[in-house]
Amino acid sequence: MKLLWSPASPYSSKVRMAAHFLGLELNAIRVDTNAGPAILVDNNPLGKIPTLLTDDGAAVFDSVAIMHYFDRLAKGKLYPAKKGKRTDAEVLESLCDGICDCLLAIIYERRFRDEEKIHQPWIDRQWKKATSGLAHLSANPPKSGKKLNGGHFALAATLDYLDLRFKGQWEADQAPLVDWLAQFEKKFPAHQELKPTA
């Protein structure tokens, strides 16, 4: 399988961590979404990453669809079998992806607008959403238990992205999540090589 990805993308990181955890081999192809390479836009009309190209020629996108595709390939090893626990894992993943959506909205506002056109109230609103999500997670840190799941990889990728782009702006208020990430790394030693990087 081929994975079209970008090193800084938390969604790409989540998917790559899950594949490693499940022992799935990926040919990771780095793409620049701004350049709109043919291999990306021909397989994903949105031109977004990550996009998975399966062995049978199908394209799977976005990261949640890829995670569930991996779960089916691995016969249910990425999400809990019990319905309640599976729902918890899926909601955790959704919350983490939503936080990342807010963080990326901030980055794009700063990166792609002329300085005089940057809308600070928009940035503040996105940051408030992100910190609200983080506060909820700090008050209710997920249990890793005996087995990691898709929600755990989403949370790790989210915290990694915060560390990459917002270092020093979140850790003091979210000590339980800093501790959670340290425990996650003990259970998943490949974390360092698969986290988002600039």
Same domain, 115 and 135: yes
**What is the pLDDT averaged over residues 171-180?**
96
Q: Considering the domain boundaries, does residue 78 fall inside one?
A: no
Same domain, 122 and 188: yes
What are the φ/ψ torsions at residue 114 (nearest 5 degrees)?
Answer: -60, 150
Q: Considering the domain boundaries, does residue 22 fall inside one?
A: yes
Domain encompassing residue 167: 83-194
Which of 73, 100, 121 lies at the terminal end of a domain, its last residue? 73
Same domain, 50 and 91: no
* Per-residue pLDDT, 44: 97
Which of 39, 73, 107 lies at the terminal end of a domain, its last residue? 73
**What is the pLDDT averaged over residues 135-163?**
95
Which of 47, 73, 99 lies at the terminal end of a domain, its last residue? 73
Angle at 154 between CA 140 and CA 121, to 5 degrees: 80
pLDDT at 144 > cutoff 90? no
Same domain, 21 and 89: no
pLDDT digit string, tens, across residues 59-101: 999 999 999 999 999 999 999 999 999 999 999 999 999 999 9
* Per-residue pLDDT, 179: 96
Same domain, 59 and 145: no
pLDDT at 146 > cutoff 90? no
How many structural domains compose the chain?
A: 2
Same domain, 69 and 165: no
Number of CB atoms found within 10 A of residue 69's CB: 18
Residue with tokens 């620049």: 32
Q: Considering the domain boundaries, does residue 37 fall inside one?
A: yes
Same domain, 9 and 50: yes
* Per-residue pLDDT, 145: 73
Q: Is 141 exposed, middle or buried (0-12, 13-18, 19+ CB in 10 A)?
A: middle
Is 0.85 topped by the overall pTM? yes
Residues forming beta bridges with residue 52, ordered by sequence position: 3, 60
Same domain, 63 and 91: no
User: Considering the chain, what is the average pLDDT of its residues?
Assistant: 96
- Residue 83: both structure tokens together: 């319905």
Same domain, 64 and 107: no
